[in-house]
């Protein structure tokens, strides 16, 4: 077994225009001061990383890694959640998701998709240059608006959508394979990969591609009322990244999983600061250790109630508390009675 690495922090929810969150040096020092030892890096802000340059220049990648290491931090993974979303966008969401793309690709869905695919390919090479073996992203979605359809879905629609999704992702997965990096899809409402079955459907379409892996985030499963503990039993061989993110589901006689169009604070299902929700992190960390998960535990902070800086500090402490230093020997070795084939035969009465 392997001891999980951490605590790490996903920077996406913290990057901003005010110090210390507006520079790499500032946010690194902030992370260290709160007790983190790793950072998961979004890749759309040149103040923190130039993704194309990191892909094309090993020198730049080494300098970036060295600067982060100088603070006592490691890069856990790069993230292309927003670019991954743009690999597959149903036209119903074009205007909303244009916000994720550079100005020159807005109002041009075809060009936007080409840009997004190239971004993922840059991320593969950049991850390789930085010495990383896992990458965090979203799958995008052609079908999400049909998850609870009315009228009913036309025959063959789901299969056609997953065929197209696999067609777009297979060349990307192949580039990641060439670079020795796993693509870790965050299974998430709003994506075509939003639970175990949809992941399996996609996996079949990409011929069980060895790089089509998972980012495990239990918070999304609480909101779906999915058994997030058994999920680890089913998919542990594919789980290569882990978000420590909390949530809770408190249905009433007025609203349930769909949330009634309410704000996050007023939904029955809502994200919470680590430790404030319903996620059983003790069992999760035990399961992942049992299955020899060798990656990072990375806090993702989203909460409509608690201050983010407080949540980050508490999140680092929660991860430290739950990481299990795995044992190198069996607890009952002191009572070992030896053993060899002949001795075993004697015990069984077979000599």
Please give the tally of structural domains in the chain.
1
Residue 64 is part of a domain; what is its CATH number? Answer: 3.20.20.150
- End-to-end CA distance of the chain: give it in Å, rounded: 36
For residue 334, the model assigns a pLDDT of: 65
| H or E segment and range at residue 281 | helix 281-290
What are 347's two structure tokens?
């015990």
What's the half-sphere exposure (Cβ side, CA atoms, 13 Å) at 68?
22
Distances (CA, A) of 267 to 81, 263, 271: 24, 6, 9
List of residues 6+ apart from 113 with CB closer than 8 A = 86, 87, 88, 89, 168
pLDDT, average across residues 33-49: 98
Distances (CA, A) of 101 to 23, 58, 175, 185, 189: 21, 26, 22, 20, 21
For residue 335, the model assigns a pLDDT of: 63
pLDDT, average across residues 78-86: 98
Gap between the Cα atoms of 315 and 271, Å rounded: 14
pLDDT, average across residues 252-280: 97
List of residues 6+ apart from 309 with CB closer than 8 A = 34
Gap between the Cα atoms of 196 and 203, Å rounded: 10
Rg (CA), the chain: 22
- For residues 44 and 76, the answer to whether their CB atoms sit within 8 Å is no
How high does pLDDT run on average in the chain?
96
For residue 332, the model assigns a pLDDT of: 66
- For residues 194 and 257, the answer to whether their CB atoms sit within 8 Å is no
Gap between the Cα atoms of 215 and 330, Å rounded: 30
What are 235's two structure tokens?
């998919």
Across-strand partners of 272?
A: 246
List of residues 6+ apart from 344 with CB closer than 8 A = none
- pLDDT by residue (tens digit) across 210-242? 999 999 999 999 999 999 999 999 999 999 999
Q: Which of 79, 165, 170, 168 is nearest to 122 (CA)?
A: 79
Domain around 228: 5-348
Q: Which of 324, 233, 331, 226 is nearest to 282 (CA)?
A: 324
| H or E segment and range at residue 259 | none
pLDDT, average across residues 168-193: 98
What are 209's two structure tokens?
């591609």
- pLDDT by residue (tens digit) across 237-258? 999 999 999 999 999 999 999 9
């Amino acid at each position: 077994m392997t001891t999980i690495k951490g605590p790490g922090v996903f920077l996406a929810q913290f990057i901003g225009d005010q110090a210390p969150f507006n520079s790499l040096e500032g946010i690194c020092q902030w992370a260290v001061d709160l007790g983190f030892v790793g950072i998961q890096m979004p890749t759309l802000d040149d103040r923190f990383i130039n993704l194309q340059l990191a892909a094309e220049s090993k020198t730049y990648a080494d300098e970036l890694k060295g600067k982060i290491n100088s603070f006592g931090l490691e890069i856990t993974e790069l993230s292309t959640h927003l670019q991954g979303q743009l690999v597959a966008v149903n036209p119903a969401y074009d205007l909303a998701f244009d916000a994720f793309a550079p100005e020159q690709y807005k109002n041009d869905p075809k060009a936007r998709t080409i840009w997004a695919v190239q971004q993922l390919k840059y991320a593969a090479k950049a991850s390789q240059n930085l010495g990383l073996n896992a990458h965090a992203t979203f799958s995008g979605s052609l079908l999400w608006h049909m998850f609870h359809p009315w009228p009913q879905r036309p025959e063959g629609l789901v299969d056609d959508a997953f065929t197209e999704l696999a067609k777009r992702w297979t060349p990307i997965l192949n580039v990641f394979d060439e670079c020795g990096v796993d693509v870790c899809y965050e299974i998430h409402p709003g994506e075509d990969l939003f639970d175990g079955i949809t992941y399996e459907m996609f996996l079949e379409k990409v011929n069980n591609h060895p790089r089509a892996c998972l980012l495990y985030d239990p918070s999304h499963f609480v909101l779906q009322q999915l058994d997030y503990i058994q999920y680890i039993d089913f998919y542990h061989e594919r789980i290569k990244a882990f978000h420590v993110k909390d949530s809770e589901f408190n249905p009433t006689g007025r609203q349930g999983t769909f949330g009634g169009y309410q704000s996050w604070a007023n939904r029955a299902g809502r994200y919470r600061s680590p430790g404030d929700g319903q996620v059983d992190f003790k069992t999760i960390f035990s399961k992942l250790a049992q299955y020899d998960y060798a990656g990072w535990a990375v806090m993702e902070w989203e909460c409509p109630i608690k201050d983010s800086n407080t949540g980050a500090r508490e999140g680092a402490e929660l991860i430290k508390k739950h990481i299990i230093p795995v044992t190198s020997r069996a607890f009952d070795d002191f009572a070992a009675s030896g053993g060899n084939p002949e001795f075993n035969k004697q015990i069984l009465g077979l000599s």
